[in-house]
Amino acid sequence: MTQLPYAVDAETPLNAAELNVLRAQYEKEGEMVGVQTKFNYAWGLVKSNVRADQHLGVMLLSEIFRTSPERRRECLYYLALGNYKLGNYAQARKYNDALLENEPANLQAANLRALIDDKVTKEGLMGVAIISGVAVAAGVIGGVLLRNLGRKR
Amino acid sequence: MANSDQNRDAFPDDVSIDDDTSVISTRGFEAFGRKVTTTASHLIGPITDPTSHPHYQSAMTEIHKQLQKPTLQRSVFAIARTTPTDLVRSKLSSKEIQSRALAYVPDELLRNIPASSNSYSLFQGFQASFPEFHDEGKKHKRRVSRGRKMLDERPVDPGSPHAVQRLKKDKTSMEHQLEMLGVRKNMASSEIREIDNKIANLHGMRKIILDRLANLEKEEAVLEHDIMDVESRLDEAQELADEAESLAMETPNKSEEDLSRTEEGFMSQSIYEKLPAANTPPGKKKPRNHRKKTLPILHEHFEPGTMIRSMRAHQDNITALDFDAPFGLMVSAAMDDSVRVWDLNAGRCIGTLEGHTASVRTLQVEDNFLATGSMDATIKLWDLSKAHYDPQGSQEVDEEDEDLAFVNPDDHAVDPPAGSMADCPLFTLEAHLDEITALHFRGDVLVSGSADKTLRQWDLTKGRCVQTLDVMWAAAQATAMGSSDGPWRQTSRSADGSADFVGALQVFESALACGTADGMVRLWDLRSGQVHRSLVGHTGPVTCLQFDDVHLVTGSLDRSIRIWDLRTGSIFDAYAYDHPITSMMFDTRRIVCAAGEDVVKVYDKVEGRHWDCGAGITEAEKAKSPAIIERVRIRDGYMVEGRQDGVVGVWTC
């Protein structure tokens, strides 16, 4: 059995009923909630497509990270994954790199790093395309204006 | 330098495999740059695991990844850590910033990552617990599949490849299930461990708070004593002021001045009024019952059966003892003819009560009043608040046996100052012709039972006998009336004459219950002086009884405890021990008995459980056998027992 889920797993949301079961369990245990229950709920939230849920999930994960040192290593991966889903690539990269530093052979983490790199490049290219498009348009308009000015003179 | 060597190894590999790009591609530079950074960071940063070579492995994974990517994407933006949208979000949207702050993990925590020693990962735990959410569906499916298997098994030829395939599939799925079960098992056990840790933590917290409670109670006692002190001084001052007022009626100005001065000297009027004892009528030297103000609760938080204190009260068999409240005053009497008063809080003897010419057989403490019934046929009343005793005094002596410390029972307590009880005797009741074996008082009514075969009712305000009840006459009357209760029956057990004629008494307003040597419990009406009900059942002399508003509990030398229903007069419950019962008392929860053993027999009414409490249990490990317990008293879970060798033990119950 795999120790860690691949990033694809995070993209498949649970249905509402399942998430409710996890939430109910989490709320039932109240203040003395166990790590596993907390994680179950957090992971269910991270898998969700709703941004607010994902935020809450990441927050719970960071709580687990802070409170149970023996789970830190695993949590790094989930934090990275959660932040990746949120689009916080800088954070995601920070956590993932920290994990890879400890477990260089971790396939899931390597895979996630590749995904982050991809996303960053893609979105970066798109940003450049937009900016350059705007720049070209501005140049054209500016050129036209200049020419018009020149003609008037 | 090993690091640079490895990098040199890695770099040419990278280039040689990726042969369709030029050597001066951006990717090459970028990769080189990264590797230099990682190497540098490894050199600078702390080496977490010197045995492995993480930098080498990370370098390899990076190369591996680079090879998989199309070349186009490896552009200038690869150097960027994040995307513009992310940057914008993290700087501008307040909600995002908020959630980021909540989920922020400090860098020092990131650096402190211990190796995981868990038998299962969180994700495995998630996967394993997930099927539970659709338990019914799963079970159903399994049953169906099993049923289908059985149905399918027959028509398909077991040798066909189809069957083999299916069996293989079944096998893998079953193996998967087995694995899941293993993970779930681990989860459960680790959860138990987690809970154990929490319990241990809570236990620690409980101990700390218990200590705090003990300290608070100690402070409370000190402060209470101080308040009493101030109060008595205030009373004196008040008296002086009153006197001055009555003397100098003509000069009211001066006396008023006096009054205000004295009052201000001690305590402001408003505070004085808030004190509960402020209602004490003037003329009384001391507040009557100072102990009611604070209620010690420390003993309630101890484990049941914990010894609080043990002291050698007398040199001889304890014949009677009673106490007013947990950690309050205890009075004990023994065969050696002495009656001693004890401070249970400090475990010290306050004084000895002198007056009786023979040993005291029975006594009762209520508030600060004590009644003792002696073999010299007299009953004496005492006011314990008149004792000259300073609870804080000579504390240095007792410093080493703080609140809970064990006091060696063989240590003889520091002798109290002589005459400390000189003011205590109130008056003596003399009318009985033979030794007093039982007494009980409540309010202004005291009843006593004597070996002269009579019961007497006394009025404590007047100090006189109000009524005499002849038990033999009542028994004879019952026969004459032809009731089923029968005449006086001499039980076989009391033939040796060791049992008291009147074993126990209790009074409540006009109701009186008495247990006698014939094993009968008679309920009297004090208004008519008649027995209105007889409870027959015990086959030996009744030695102890107590009733509340519903039940009457009796103990007898026939070894049994009987619980009667007062409304119907029938037996409600009964149980027996191995030896004759010499003493019994109950509080809201427990019935405690002295039944001729070195332990107190406790019956927990709430849990319906019998257990033993006392020195017999703890001392058994040391192969010592403590003396047999003779008398036992309990109030609010605070139990005091007196033994045949004169030792008194205090326990929580």
Q: What DSSP character marks residue B377?
A: S
Contact (CB<8Å) B61/A105 = yes
A7-152 topology per CATH: 1.25.40
Contact (CB<8Å) A43/B73 = no
pLDDT of residue B281: 40
Are the C-beta atoms of B350 and B387 separated by less than 8 Å?
A: yes
Lowest mean pLDDT among A13-17, B14-18, B148-152, B600-604: B14-18
Considering chain B, what is the average pLDDT of its residues? 76
Give CA–CA dist B109/A104, Å, rounded: 19
Binned at pLDDT 50, 70 and 90, residue B8 comes out as: very low
Give CA–CA dist B464/B529, Å, rounded: 17
What is the average pLDDT across B445-472? 92
Say if residue B60's pLDDT is above 70.
no
Top-confidence range, B191-200, B474-483, B576-585:
B576-585
Tell me the pLDDT tens digit for each residue of B274-313.
Answer: 444 434 343 334 444 444 556 677 777 788 888 888 899 9
Contact (CB<8Å) A58/B112 = no
User: Which helix H or strand E contains A114, and what residues bound it?
Assistant: helix A107-152
Distance from CA of A141 to the nearest CA of B (A): 26
pLDDT of residue B619: 73
Say if residue B22's pLDDT is above 50.
no
Contact (CB<8Å) B122/A35 = yes
Architecture of the domain defined by B298-652: 7 Propeller (2.130)
Contact (CB<8Å) B84/A90 = no
Amino acid at B94: S
pLDDT of residue B574: 94
Chain B: residue whose CA lies nearest to A86: B86
Say if residue B432's pLDDT is above 90.
yes
**B357 and chain A in contact, CB less than 8 A:** no
What is the average pLDDT across B135-163? 55
Contact (CB<8Å) B109/A65 = yes
Tokens of B584: 């019994």
Distance from CA of B51 to the nearest CA of A (A): 12
What is the average pLDDT across B30-48? 51
Phi, psi of B364 (to 5 degrees): -145, 135
- Report the Cα A59 to chain-centroid distance in Å: 13
> Bigger pLDDT: B440 or B394?
B440
pLDDT of residue B511: 93
Q: How many contacts (CB atoms, under 8 Å) link A and B?
A: 163
**B77 and chain A in contact, CB less than 8 A:** yes
Are the C-beta atoms of B60 and B10 separated by less than 8 Å?
A: yes
User: Which helix H or strand E contains B534, and what residues bound it?
Assistant: strand B530-535
**B58 and chain A in contact, CB less than 8 A:** yes
Distance from CA of A35 to the nearest CA of B (A): 9
> Bigger pLDDT: A124 or B22?
A124
Lowest mean pLDDT among A26-40, B498-512, B532-546: A26-40
pLDDT of residue B334: 93
Are the C-beta atoms of B542 and B560 separated by less than 8 Å?
A: no
**B91 and chain A in contact, CB less than 8 A:** no
Question: If you search the block for the tokens 């916080």, which residue do you land on?
Answer: A88
The closest alpha carbon to B296, from B229, B343, B248, B363, belongs to B343
Give me the tens of pLDDT residue by residue for chain A, a chain 153 residues long: 467 888 788 888 888 888 888 898 899 888 778 888 889 899 999 988 888 889 999 999 988 888 888 888 888 889 898 998 888 888 888 888 888 888 888 888 888 888 888 888 888 888 788 888 888 999 899 888 888 887 766
Say if residue B143's pLDDT is above 50.
no
pLDDT of residue B277: 41
How many residues does this entry show for chain A? 153
Choose the mutation target among A2, A9, A22, A40 for the interface with B, i.e. most B CBs under 10 Å: A40
Tell me the pLDDT tens digit for each residue of B237-275.
Answer: 999 999 998 888 765 555 455 544 544 444 444 444 444
The closest alpha carbon to B584, from B625, B641, B500, B627, belongs to B641
Helical segments of B21-93, H only: 26-44, 54-68, 84-92
**Inter-CA distances, B523 with B467, B508, B579, Å:** 16, 11, 26
Give CA–CA dist B269/B264, Å, rounded: 8
pTM: 0.56
Tell me the pLDDT tens digit for each residue of B540-581.
Answer: 999 999 999 999 999 999 999 999 999 998 999 999 999 999
**B125 and chain A in contact, CB less than 8 A:** yes
> Bigger pLDDT: B625 or B232?
B232
Contact (CB<8Å) A93/B82 = yes
Tell me the pLDDT tens digit for each residue of B345-380.
Answer: 888 888 899 999 999 999 999 988 999 999 999 999
Are the C-beta atoms of B296 and B393 separated by less than 8 Å?
A: no
Contact (CB<8Å) B183/A113 = no
What is the average pLDDT across B384-410? 53
Are the C-beta atoms of B629 and B598 separated by less than 8 Å?
A: yes
Distance from CA of A146 to the nearest CA of B (A): 32
Domain ranges (residues) in chain B: 2-82, 217-292, 298-652
Contact (CB<8Å) B110/A94 = yes
Phi, psi of A8 (to 5 degrees): -60, -35
Give CA–CA dist A106/A74, Å, rounded: 11
Q: Specify burial of residue B590 (Cβ count, 10 A radius: 0-12, 13-18, 19+).
A: buried
Are the C-beta atoms of B449 and B439 separated by less than 8 Å?
A: yes
Contact (CB<8Å) A62/B103 = yes
Tell me the pLDDT tens digit for each residue of B581-593.
Answer: 999 999 999 999 9
